[in-house]
Structure 1
Amino acid sequence: MRGLVWMKDGGAEYAEVDLGAELTAVGVAIGTDPVPYRLEYTLRTLTGYVTELLSVRVHGAGWHRALDLRRSVHGAWSCETKEEGNLGGPSPGGDVNALGDALDCDLALSPLTNTMPILRHGLDANDGRIDLVTAWVGVPHLHVTRHPQRYVHLAQGRVRFEGEGFGADLTLDGDGVVADYPGLARLMSGDASPAW
């Protein structure tokens, strides 16, 4: 189990992450764009880092949204949502029928979810390139869309990420966790235990 802290231009994220044959994590993030919010999530994958569950709760002044996004072992996606107050913008959830070929969720502004396809395909250490589709979850609205992405191995611990007109060269730590995502987040702490 590792406690990870990423600092972001518009907030911060803390996650307790267990990386083994599967990934499990619970996290909390604060953000400022388009409005101030507090977000909590639970993430669980199957063997091979294939998404099983992403549960997200987000709160702001006078509003609350919730999303439970699941992928069955047979590849069928489902989601349940709740919405209170007036945030504006798209409603939580989306057309899960468009996600049939997606193995991964991608929680916007969270570098943790980029780790799953990188580890599954060994791109942190091995040459290669993979084109895939994710179930992208916008923040703070929690609207889910089909999102094509590409990951390319650049060097040991470095992977290029591309998605719909955007790209970034990611630096990974020794576990394959995203440590530096230029323009988004930088890992500040990732030790499994405190140094007393």
Structure 2
Amino acid sequence: MTTSRVLTWDVPASGGYETAWVDCGQGALHARGRAVGTTPEPYWITYELETAEDFVTRRLRVTAETAARTRTVELRHDGRGGWSADGEPLPQLTGALDCDLGLSPLTNTMPVLRHALHRAQGEQEFLMAWVSVPGLVVRPSRQTYTHLARLAGGGGRVRYASGSFRSDLEIDADGFVVHYPQLATRLAQR
């Protein structure tokens, strides 16, 4: 069964907001979203994210607009471990399963759902295809997700770590970020 949701986050880390329209079910996710930010400079972002079975990223297309320029990048995963950006191979990402759009709480969802880290004990290390915002530079990022606790309502607390950065995320029962200290807080739907 596929469920559709609209999620909006206040993103103090960017001085802006993000809204995502998400369809999720049967091990796959499709989302389209928009974000606006003022840090490190004023920008608008639009994106479309598609995953395949087991929430493995297939495609992320992002457009960033600043006062100086508009740039688009299309990141693709071939399903066998290979990645490309705008058709150019990215061998440094070989083996990565997920993308991570900078300053976006949505892209924390895929590894959490794949390993049920919001519900079950465990720690997983990942290589991610990280996309900077608003520059849209793609680079590898090593990240660790660790289940810390179950929360009322079926969600959980999950520690995100990359390099020296750490943050304990509150995740809802469906695997989406509710609160990401130092980055974003989801707004209540009206």
Q: Same fold (TM over 0.5)?
A: yes
CA deviations over 1:112-140 (Å, ceiling 9, x no partner): 10111011011010000001110000000
- Quote the RMSD (CA, aligned, Å): 1.4
Question: Sequence identity of aligned pairs in percent?
Answer: 45
1:16 paired with 2:21, answer yes
Q: CA deviation at 1:174?
A: 1.8
- Counting only pairs closer than 5 Å after superposition, residues 156-175 of structure 1 correspond to structure 2 as 156=150, 157-175=156-174
C-alpha separation in 2, matches of 1:74 and 1:104: 13
Choose which of 98, 102, 105 in structure 1 pairs with 2:99: 105
C-alpha separation in 1, matches of 2:173 and 2:8: 16
C-alpha separation in 2, matches of 1:74 and 1:97: 12
CA deviations over 1:126-158 (Å, ceiling 9, x no partner): 000001110000000000111000000001111
1:51 paired with 2:35, answer no
Q: TM-score, normalised by structure 1?
A: 0.88
Q: Does the 8 Å CA contact 1:130/1:150 hold for their aligned counterparts?
A: yes
C-alpha separation in 2, matches of 1:62 and 1:98: 29
Q: Does the 8 Å CA contact 2:82/2:95 hold for their aligned counterparts?
A: no
Runs of 4+ residues deviating >3 angstroms: none
Unaligned ranges ≥5, structure 1: 82-92
Unaligned ranges ≥5, structure 2: 151-155
Task: Look up the match of 1:179.
Answer: 178
Q: How many residues are treated as equivalent by the alignment?
A: 179
CA deviations over 1:84-115 (Å, ceiling 9, x no partner): xxxxxxxxx8x711000110000000011011
Task: Look up the match of 1:88.
Answer: none
C-alpha separation in 1, matches of 2:186 and 2:180: 9
Task: Look up the match of 2:187.
Answer: 188
Choose which of 78, 89, 94 in structure 1 pairs with 2:84: 78
C-alpha separation in 2, matches of 1:98 and 1:133: 10
Q: CA deviation at 1:164?
A: 1.2
C-alpha separation in 2, matches of 1:189 and 1:108: 22
Q: CA deviation at 1:189?
A: 3.2
Q: CA deviation at 1:70?
A: 0.3
Q: TM-score, normalised by structure 2?
A: 0.91
